[in-house]
Structure 1
Amino acid sequence: MASSDHRSPTAVPTLAPGTHRGIVARCAGPAAVAAAAVGALAVLARVDPNAPGHYPTCPFLFLTGLYCPGCGALRALHDLTQLDLAGAWGMNPLLVLVLPALVAAWVGWTVRSARGRPRSLVVPARWINAFLVLVLVYWVARNVPALAPWLAP
C-alpha cells in the first residue's frame, strides 16, 4: 500500500521547545565549547608555557623572527589562570581586551540556544572589518619597537 505520508511509527519525535531535554539538546554546542575551553585552560594552568619544551614555538615567529597577533597568547592565558592580569597584559594586551567579548559572545550563544534561536545574531560587516583592521594595526605596531615597545611579548 503506497502512502504519501513518509513518517514511520519508529521515527524519533522532536523535543518540545520547553522541555528540559530540549534545552539540553539545544545547548550541546555551547556546552562542548565550554568543556573544551575549561579542559584547555586546566592544562594551561598546570603546564607553564614559559618553561621550555612544553609547547611549540609560534611558526610565524620561528620563520620570520616577527611577532604575530597571537604571540604571547598562551603565556597570557596561563597568567590569567594564575590571576595575574598585569602579566597577561604584558604578554598579549589584545587577547586581554578581546577575551571578555568572547565570553560575552559565548554567553549570548548559550542563551539563544536555550531559547531555541541559536542563529539569530548577525554581526555587522563593519564590526568585523574594524576588528580585522585593529588586529592588523596591532600586528604591525608590536613589531616596530619605536611605535609601541610595550606590545612585544
Structure 2
Amino acid sequence: MTPPRLHGVREAWLGGAVLAALALATALFDPTRPGRFPACPFRAVTGWDCPGCGSLRALHELTHGQVAAAMDYNALLVAFLPFGAVIWLRAVTRRSRPRVLPAWAARALAVGVVLWAVIRNLPLFGGVLAS
C-alpha cells in the first residue's frame, strides 16, 4: 500500500504531465481551426459559452506567448494558472499536504465559476469575453 503522502505527489506529477501534453497539443495544433478538437457540448446545446469555453484557444495563445489574446479567450483560465502552478509546486515538493477545500471555499469557487459563466455571456461583455 502506498503512503498517502506519496500518492498525492504521484497524482500531482500525473496531473502536470496531462496538462503539459495538452499544452503541447494546443501549441502544435491550432484549436481555432475546425475539426482539430471536439466542440463544447454545452455551447452546442445552449449557444452560450460555458466557464471553460475558450480554454484550448487560451492555452494555445499562452504557449505562443500571447497573454492578452489568451485573456480574450478565457480570462478565468489565465487568472487561475499562476495559482494552480503554486499549488502544484507545493504538492510535488511536499511543502504542503493535499487538502480538501473547506466548505466555504468550495462554495465561493462554485459561485465564482457560475458568475463567470453568466458575466461572459452578457451582451455588454460579448466583444471582450466571448470566445
Report the TM-score, using the length of structure 1 for normalisation: 0.74
Superposed displacement of residue 57, structure 1 = 1.0
Instruction: Find the aligned partners of 1:94 and 1:26 in 2 and give their Cα distance.
Output: 25
Instruction: Find the aligned partners of 1:35 and 1:108 in 2 and give their Cα distance.
Output: 16
Report the TM-score, using the length of structure 2 for normalisation: 0.85
Instruction: Find the aligned partners of 1:47 and 1:96 in 2 and give their Cα distance.
Output: 19
Greater share of helix: 2
Superposed displacement of residue 118, structure 1 = 4.1
Give the secondary-structure state (helix, strand or coil) at the position aligned to 1:67: coil
Q: How many residue pairs are counted as aligned between the two chains? A: 128
Match of residue 138 from structure 1: 116
**Relative to structure 1, is the Cα distance of residues 26 and 60 closer, same or farther in structure 2, using a 3 angstrom cutoff?**
closer
Give the secondary-structure state (helix, strand or coil) at the position aligned to 2:93: helix
Match of residue 80 from structure 2: 98
Identity of aligned residues (%): 38
1:73 and 2:55 are equivalent in the alignment? yes
| Aligned alpha-carbon RMSD (Å) | 2.3
Deviation >3 Å, runs of 4+: none
Larger relative contact order, structure 1 or 2 (CA cutoff 8 Å, min sep 6): 2
Structure ID, larger Rg: 1
**Relative to structure 1, is the Cα distance of residues 143 and 26 closer, same or farther in structure 2, using a 3 angstrom cutoff?**
closer
Superposed displacement of residue 47, structure 1 = 0.4
The superposition leaves residues 5-46 of structure 1 with CA deviations (integer Å, 9 ceiling, x where unpaired) of xxxxxxxxx99xxxxxxx7x8743222222222122111100
